[in-house]
Amino acid sequence: MATHDPELKKELDATLQTRKELGSEYESELVESFLEKLDKDVDRRVRRQLAEQQMQVARGAQPPRRTNAGSEFWERFTFAVVSLVLAIPLSAIAVVNAGLVGLAVCWAGIVGVNAVHGLGRRSPRPGQRDEDWD
């Protein structure tokens, strides 16, 4: 959910109006000035949020958990695709060198690596209770 800062919106409107009045000769200075104000605003918000989290932790509350389900999905998906792409030449090498037994060992390794990768993400993080597993 995005929150809009009315002061920042006023600054942007003023910057755009000033650009119209002064022309494009001062555009880079105007943009740079606005970006400095934006940077200060972001810095202020991040510092306030960190201070609030530190106060919560100091009071004994658990820090908020971040869940990146979308990025975790793409990480797993990419790992699976890469392992399947690499499985093609590995399978060919295994069959040429060891026949069907080599193919079975090769695929057991591929499945094992994917299983370890998938299950490895489910272990608790340091300081996290078992009930908090993802």
What does the pLDDT look like over 69-81, one tens digit per residue? 667 778 888 888 8
User: In this predicted model, which residue has the larger pLDDT, 1 or 45?
Assistant: 45
> Could you tell me if 98 and 105 are in contact, meaning their C-beta atoms sit under 8 angstroms apart?
yes
Same domain, 127 and 73: yes
Residue 64 lies in a domain: no
- pLDDT tens-place string over residues 24-74: 888 888 888 888 887 888 888 888 888 888 888 888 766 555 556 667 778
Its pTM stands at: 0.40
Domain count, the chain: 2
% residues pLDDT > 90 (the chain): 11
Same domain, 106 and 75: yes
H or E, element range at 46: helix 27-58
